A and B are shown apart, each in its own frame.
Chain A
């Protein structure tokens, strides 16, 4: 035991002072954090989160534009939604369009004045007709009849001309407005525009134009508010009081409660989903830092022949176990440093305490248990792979592969979130390579049954004992006969006679 302690202490202090440990403890989390923050930063500053400017084209007179703007402002105050700003789009009054508008206006005046004149003549004729018989009554009636007839013809012609010019002008305006809106879209000054047609209220149909496909996925809120507005409008038409309408349209509040054991706790995606993934990532940095140190330490000491000096003083088993314990404690120490930093952040209110709610004492103990099991298992695998490989390079490549496979459960995170205790996930949890990460992910997500903890720990312990014994044997053969490749036959015989020293 004394030698194991001596070797453990030496390895702990040796790597504690190493640059690799400082990098893995302080820089890796920062890099990880930056890698997590950068996409979020880009997201924050991307078109997805910048205030969306939506153009509004109104061909009716309901002034939905104003109502919409008000509604968006209200929703921004109460909801975590990206800001939407509305921009009313109107046609530019170019000289051609101005001519048409002026002509339409002139025709409008003409039509109106003719209509007025027609009404005046009509009144006058009515007056003549109702007046007692006079000498010029007949001639006045004939005269006014002629005037009325001529004025009506002129007025009807003016109306036809007015309507013709108006239709032409409307068409020109419509085309000019759409052109302007499309120009704004192309220039990316707006992300999209909606078109209110006069038939909106009746048909409930609105057009949304946009350039980028992503914008079509982002108008749910817009749709919702328009729907509310339309419903409000229709209710108003039906005579429902505004206060009543507001009461009815008040959004419902859903409290999301999750059953955890006998308790029900509020669902929080950070607490129950992202948090455990981050924990798995950190614990695996710890596992791979320590087991990587073990692998490097043995490899380095083999290549510079220190190992022979060590094994002349201690048995192979003592050397391996001393290193394993020393570097394992180093890994735990690393985890403790991270926990202390997290606690500091929580204390400084940089991390809301409710967002690490999953780090209960029970869950923490489970995480540490699987951390230790994972470390022991991967260390044994790394040592075996290292000494079974014909070269150090091959060993490193194989170890990289093992590392990738072990974090594979993170890819399954969605499946685990969906069904943490499904048959497939449970079976995968019993595969030693995946056990630590899967069980750590499952613990806060799905409260795995106790039997799963029992089976997974038993399997891990069995495999660890076997693989450590195997690693010691492989280490012994690999160290003092490095030129001799270990053949399949020998591997089988090693498995048969796992009997270190």
Chain B
């Protein structure tokens, strides 16, 4: 199911939280919503799932606005997670399955199936409060996929979560992608997004700073970053024409250069300035790209 967000606006107390946000999360793709903490990612996800209302703009799911039926086809893992403690594992899963409009019997069957798949069947009659924190986290993940959603929305799924469960989440994302479902994840952990996402949207202070296909973006930013290692004083590289940003650490330096210049021209300038022991035109990671974009106002 394709999700299209168009010119979304959200204000709190006359302060703009989301400003004209537009993007498309396509089926069979993992869409990454990236940005630092407080940039408006969670608010955007909550609006998408109908928890809170937007002040402007539209969200459509295969061209239709959010409805009860569509909501039933969305799986959601919130950033701040909690679960009932006194009720048994099977009861809690069945309950959330029923809230997603599954019949009681179907919800119970799906719950048992999932518990079996995730090796938790032996604990199904135990109250959740008696399970380990890791198992409780896994139950929260299971709640989001119990009804076999077509859209999976994960808010900071790798934050404060057991490493084993991080792996569970990764596998689920791959599985959902293979099943041609839509996956939207929000994270400030760019390294995870880099491994998982097909398309990304950077937002900062409620505004889009960058969006697009991850590979395309990488291509676009590829020639911009040059890593240099040398015995000499690397500070002299700062004055080379076209160097927009310069970071030096002992014997190495990272140069962000104007993409309009040809890499050969810059490389020859570097080589003529310092005694280079190693030089590399690097693939900028998402951290680099985000940093670059934020600092260049692009």
Contact = CB atoms under 8 A, between A and B. Distances in A.
Contact of B98 (A6, A301, A304, A476): A6
A484 B46 CA distance: 17
A308 B101 contact: no
Interface in A1-38: 2-3, 6-7, 10, 14, 18
A301 B83 CA distance: 9
A114 to B, nearest CB: 105
Interface residues of B, number: 27
A309 B87 contact: no
Interface in B75-121: 76, 78, 80-84, 86-87, 95-96, 98-101
A310 interface: yes
Q: Is the interface of B mostly helix, strand, loop or mixed?
A: loop
Contact of A306 (B52, B71, B72, B84): B84
Nearest to B46: A480
A313 interface: yes
A315 B52 CA distance: 10
A308 B45 CA distance: 12
Contacts of B80: 305, 308
B13 A7 contact: no
Nearest to B75: A312
A305 B82 contact: yes
B74 interface: yes
A312 B52 contact: no
A306 B87 contact: no
Contacts of A476: 52
Contact of B82 (A10, A18, A306, A311): A306
Contact of A309 (B50, B71, B72, B96): B96
Contacts of A315: 50
Given A304-B82, A305-B80, A313 B13 contact: no
A6 B82 CA distance: 20
Q: Is the interface of A mostly helix, strand, loop or mixed?
A: helix
Contacts of B50: 312, 315
Contact of B12 (A3, A18, A308, A484): A484
B49 interface: yes
Contact of B51 (A7, A10, A311): A311
A311 B99 CA distance: 10
A483 to B, nearest CB: 10
A308 B83 CA distance: 11
B100 A313 contact: yes
B143 interface: yes
Given A14-B87, A309-B143, A7 B82 contact: no
A238 interface: no
A207 interface: no
Interface string B269-283: 000000000000000
A332 interface: no
B100 A480 contact: no
A303 to B, nearest CB: 8
B78 A10 contact: no
A476 B46 CA distance: 12
B72 to A, nearest CB: 8
A313 B99 contact: yes
A18 B143 CA distance: 24
Nearest to B76: A312
A304 B82 CA distance: 5
A481 interface: yes
B78 A305 contact: yes
A314 B99 contact: yes
B95 A6 contact: yes
B99 A308 contact: no
The interface centre, meaning the residue of A10, A18, A484 with most chain B CB atoms within 10 A of its CB, is A10
Contacts of A311: 51
Given A2-B101, A6-B95, A312 B49 contact: yes
Contacts of A314: 99
A310 B78 CA distance: 11
Interface in A287-309: 301, 304-306, 308-309
Nearest to B98: A6
Contact of A481 (B12, B78, B95): B12
Given A313-B76, A484-B12, 11 more contacts: A2-B101, A6-B99, A7-B99, A14-B84, A304-B83, A306-B83, A308-B51, A309-B78, A309-B81, A312-B50, A312-B78
24 contacts: A2-B101, A3-B99, A3-B101, A7-B99, A10-B95, A14-B86, A18-B86, A305-B78, A305-B80, A306-B83, A308-B80, A309-B81, A309-B82, A309-B96, A309-B140, A312-B71, A313-B71, A313-B72, A313-B100, A314-B99, A476-B52, A480-B46, A480-B52, A484-B13
